[in-house]
Structure 1
């Protein structure tokens, strides 16, 4: 016969097993929710920031059809790629504010910025290289830039490939002037703060797209420049 002591021990073990199962289920659910939140988090990764500094934004005004270089004190990353991304994020954030003179949809507009040294060169399979054990040629050779490809005007000049999010592009206002002002604002802001960026190409969700919102060409490569059409306001 099972003693009273053994029955109590048995039921304690049963309760412990169920309790452990419930705790493991809770931990599993919590980790699943955490991973889901991380996967859907649009917040850019943190990068080392400098102290507040004067940043020039080339701000558009739809009413006057102008671009004005406007300085603002703001903290920015020190690494150049993160800096370019932060500039564009802040620029779009300015345009998403209620009093914006160039209203644009809110949210994350830029999925990434990639900097490529100018002139752009590529690689091709080297037919003279010995084949790998699988019979394929894995070695590559440098392909010189095409004669008509843009060259860097200054040492260290780079091409910035800006990958926009389709959610931002699809909700961008349509029209020749409003699209052109967005483009000029981006080019002017990059030129004013990161002079080594000399050329800009655009992608949308990693793919070429013909226009921004039906008008401005997104397939060509644009030189950065001072796009301001009105003087900066006096402080």
Structure 2
């Protein structure tokens, strides 16, 4: 016989699971709605001759587990979602470079030649980035805060080295790069190929919402 306490615990766990699934489904629907709106409102290409901006990228160093600060001048779009995408694509592209301090091998069928590596998007490591406003408590000062939903590709996850340290460094590098350049992003949620996954490559937890400032290893 199942005790009353066990039944209550089971029902509570079931409600929690259903609530989380509903939240993730709604989160994805809102992100897709925002993407469609951006596609309708935003030009496919940025205006020619946009002045490059200095951005800060946090590059993982597997040797000592640190995050290295790298400055790059990049032509940046005006839309914040598009800016976040450029930042992450550029960062992930650095992972693929021959002398990377956080190397990730090319995915199956991916061309690693110099020509293919000229564009940050050549690796197809990132599917999309969505920004969603975070509601503030009633009565609190109006502060703009956003959650970034970072949808990494299945190919990137498959090619990523397995291990708690390399996986965590990848997540911390993305968190820090977004927060340093787009401080209104205070939370980050990770998806793989449009779906919620337990881990990146077997270790780093992808079921939680991360604080964008949660770069525990620190930058140098």
TM, length-normalised to structure 2: 0.66
Tell me how far 1:206 sits from its aligned partner.
1.2
The structure with the greater share of residues assigned to strand is 1
Q: Does 1:109 align with 2:125?
A: yes
The structure with the greater share of residues assigned to helix is 2
Task: Provide structure 1 residue ranges, at least 5 long, that are not aligned to the other structure.
Answer: 1-44, 121-144, 146-151
Count, aligned residues: 158
Indicate if the aligned counterparts of 1:105 and 1:168 stay in contact, CA closer than 8 A.
no
What corresponds to 2:65 in structure 1? 65
Tell me how far 1:230 sits from its aligned partner.
4.2
What corresponds to 1:185 in structure 2? 173
Q: Does 1:119 align with 2:107?
A: no
Please give the per-residue CA displacement for 1:15-56, whole angstroms capped at 9, x wherever unaligned: xxxxxxxxxxxxxxxxxxxxxxxxxxxxxx534574111110
Q: Does 1:171 align with 2:159?
A: yes
Cα separation, 1, equivalents of 2:68 and 2:135: 31
Indicate if the aligned counterparts of 1:188 and 1:225 stay in contact, CA closer than 8 A.
yes
Cα separation, 2, equivalents of 1:157 and 1:55: 20
- Describe how 1:139-154 pairs up with structure 2 within 5 A: none
Cα separation, 1, equivalents of 2:61 and 2:141: 30
Tell me how far 1:69 sits from its aligned partner.
2.1
Tell me how far 1:119 sits from its aligned partner.
2.8
What corresponds to 1:9 in structure 2? none
Indicate if the aligned counterparts of 1:67 and 1:185 stay in contact, CA closer than 8 A.
yes
Q: Which runs of 4+ in 1 moved over 6 A?
A: none
Q: Does 1:212 align with 2:200?
A: yes
Please give the per-residue CA displacement for 1:44-89, whole angstroms capped at 9, x wherever unaligned: x534574111110011100111012222222222211100011111
Cα separation, 2, equivalents of 1:47 and 1:159: 24
Task: Provide structure 2 residue ranges, at least 5 long, that are not aligned to the other structure.
Answer: 1-43, 107-122
Once superposed, what is the RMSD of the aligned Cα atoms? 2.4
Q: Does 1:222 align with 2:210?
A: yes
User: In 2 relative to 1, CA 105–88 (structure 1 residues): closer, same or farther, beyond 3 Å?
Assistant: farther
User: In 2 relative to 1, CA 112–176 (structure 1 residues): closer, same or farther, beyond 3 Å?
Assistant: same
Bigger drift between 103-112 and 47-56 goes to 47-56
What corresponds to 2:93 in structure 1? 93
User: In 2 relative to 1, CA 48–89 (structure 1 residues): closer, same or farther, beyond 3 Å?
Assistant: farther
- Describe how 1:14-93 pairs up with structure 2 within 5 A: 45-48=44-47, 50-93=50-93
TM, length-normalised to structure 1: 0.62
Tell me how far 1:109 sits from its aligned partner.
1.2
User: In 2 relative to 1, CA 230–116 (structure 1 residues): closer, same or farther, beyond 3 Å?
Assistant: closer
3-state SS in 2 of match to 1:198: strand
Cα separation, 2, equivalents of 1:183 and 1:213: 12
Tell me how far 1:222 sits from its aligned partner.
0.2
